[in-house]
Structure 1
Amino acid sequence: MDKQLSPYSDGVNLCLDELLYFKQHAIHWLPPAKSLWSQVLGQHQSKRLGRGMDFAEVRQYQAGDDVRSIDWRVTARTGKPHTKLFTEEREKPIVLYIDLSASMRFGSKLMFKSVLAAHMASLIAWLSVAQKDRVGAIIDTGNQLTELKPSSRNQGPLAMIQNLVKLHQSILVDPADIHSNDMDEGFHALNRLCPKGSEVVIISDFLRFSEQNQLLISRLRSHNQVRLVQISDPLESGITDYRGVEQVSDKRSTMWVDFSSRKVRNQIAAAFERKQHQLKSLSHSHGLSFTCLSTQKSLLQQLSGRDQ
């Protein structure tokens, strides 16, 4: 086992101990300490995962009320100043979309993209329940969706990691040839499963993401906070020490690639940049947060590295 990998991990398979390991690390990102999302987003502004304020009622303005909370519509209608009251939000639903489709079961460096996605999902889930939030998930293998409704306490993360391990191991042993062309079915499931006001985290390489999926993202964003976490491998951006000719496949087509050609490596890099630009533009236009993680380092190394 590589010394950079998390304990119990071999970079290819998943086991329960490997995902339970992240429970002890969730405390590092609990308020009032640093936020996990401010950590992975660097200088970008991001709301902290967890506590918020829910609207409660409108009442007539009283001396000492915050003028920023005045409800101007009610004030105009009644002719008397009214203010909005808020209560602290309690169990906020956190719903994770975890992509285990064919393209995610690949890695040229430290681990498979699917393994890194499971690590990130586990860390978010344990952090969420530590903040008294409910955790649910949709696990997408490309030809099968597993839906887990948001549950409180340890029930949510445990159900998620048990299903992750079971599904991941089954598709490694017997990978299916049938797969969906895009993420449409998974996003429909997200819109159906997520209660309004949810925090939705989509963890994927987004290779199956298409323009047609943007409408579903927009609908999801209208009632929820949505975060995109892109999982990538260095080879996808043309970064490799290999200089031979190799047969590669995306499970839909197969071709020979000459990695000794700088032109070919640049073409690979350009295709990856186009996909990232598409995701960043989508995030900007819809008010989503965007994070990219790489299989060349363990999750905790990447998080600690951004703390320096």
Structure 2
Amino acid sequence: METADILRKVRKIEIKARGLSRDIFAGQYHSAFKGRGMAFSEVREYQYGDDVRDIDWNVTARFHHPYVKVFEEERELTVMLLVDVSGSLDFGTVNQLKKDLLTEIASTLAFSAIQNNDKIGVVFFSDHVEKYIPPKKGKKHILYIIREMLDFQPESKRTNLGNAIEFLTKVMKRRCTSFILSDFYVKDDFKDALSIAANKHDVVAIQVYDPRAKELPDVGLLKVLDPETGHEMYVDTGDKRIRNAHKQYWLDRQEKLSDIFSKCSVDNVAIGTDEDFVRRLLFLFAQRNK
């Protein structure tokens, strides 16, 4: 992709993502993703009903009158995006490629993060960690991340989610909020890695998918390609049994994913390329606030 084209796309995504994060997600993001705890803010005179355990004895002794410590939520977060860059994301039959949808979602989350003064970093992964961008603050950093998502060329087209999750656990020493953005077309068993990561961090799974993954149209003989292996084959979509088997495969796969997320206590949402991702993210935020 030419540099001028990349810059135009970056600017277009920036305008949309900044608007969404400012006008729609600001409050929901803040309440859905809490800080690390309570941090000391100031002292004030003791008032009836205050917890005596909050008395600052040094200040009290100095002024010969009881003073208490005031705490507020420590809001600053470190947000990590685990971004799938494998070959299966280069697919789309409706409004856009899965990769494009993933980029828009990641960009919106990134701008929501910096509006709350959070640091944000990225792990690009295929069947190995392709690139790690350490967490930082600022608009310039966000635009660099978006540019990388638009133009990044992975070494591999295959996927191994477990490797990426294990990398997150090793590299992030302190608790962070981590979004896994993927279509979750993975063959590795990532459950153990996810369970360990979820015990240490706040992990959220965002699945992007194309509606054709759920249901095949009746369009006769169709040539299909596995973008991760390069394997080609013909599918007779006119055969109802094949269409039903395809649908059942999707349902079984989603049930398995749902079971893994549930057992690992990972909040999750699935967003189609034919859907309004804003509505689906707001649904996710609302679920976390219950």
TM category (shorter chain) comes to 0.7 to 0.9
| Counterpart residue number, 1:59 | none
| Counterpart residue number, 2:85 | 100
| Counterpart residue number, 1:123 | 108
Contact kept, 8 Å, 1:145 with 1:186, in 2: the verdict is no
- Deviation, 1:141, is 4.4
Contact kept, 8 Å, 1:104 with 1:205, in 2: the verdict is yes
TM-score (norm 1): 0.72
1:268 aligns with 2:263: no
Q: From the two aligned structures, give the one with the greater helix fraction.
A: 2
- Deviation, 1:148, is 0.8
Describe the SS at the equivalent of 2:196.
helix
| Counterpart residue number, 1:134 | 119
1:183 aligns with 2:161: yes
| Counterpart residue number, 1:17 | 11
Of 217, 220, 226 in structure 1, the residue corresponding to residue 194 of structure 2 is 217
Deviations 1:230-279 (A, max 9, x none): 11111111243x42111112132322111112211111111111121111
Describe the SS at the equivalent of 1:284.
helix
Structure 2 counterpart of 1:223, one-letter code: K
Task: Identify if the C-alpha distance between structure 1 residues 269 and 302 changes in structure 2 by more than 3 Å, giving closer, same or farther.
Answer: same
Contact kept, 8 Å, 1:125 with 1:156, in 2: the verdict is no
Matches within 5 A, 1:1-308: 15-21=9-15, 22-27=17-22, 28-31=24-27, 35=28, 48-51=32-35, 53-54=37-38, 64=49, 87-142=72-127, 145-167=130-152, 170=153, 178-211=156-189, 213-240=190-217, 242-250=218-226, 251-252=228-229, 253-300=231-278
Distance 1:201 1:120 in 2: 10
Distance 2:12 2:21 in 1: 14
Distance 1:283 1:244 in 2: 36
Structure 1 counterpart of 2:257, one-letter code: L
Contact kept, 8 Å, 1:100 with 1:142, in 2: the verdict is no
Q: Which runs of 4+ in 1 moved over 6 A?
A: 304-307
Task: Identify if the C-alpha distance between structure 1 residues 15 and 138 changes in structure 2 by more than 3 Å, giving closer, same or farther.
Answer: same
Unaligned stretches of 5+ residues in structure 2: 41-46, 55-69
Larger Rg: 2
TM-score (norm 2): 0.77
Distance 1:231 1:258 in 2: 26
Q: CA RMSD in A?
A: 3.2
Structure 2 counterpart of 1:91, one-letter code: E
Instruction: Count the aligned residue pairs.
Output: 254
- Deviation, 1:216, is 1.0
- Deviation, 1:144, is 5.6
Task: Identify if the C-alpha distance between structure 1 residues 305 and 195 changes in structure 2 by more than 3 Å, giving closer, same or farther.
Answer: closer
Unaligned stretches of 5+ residues in structure 1: 1-9, 38-46, 57-61, 70-84
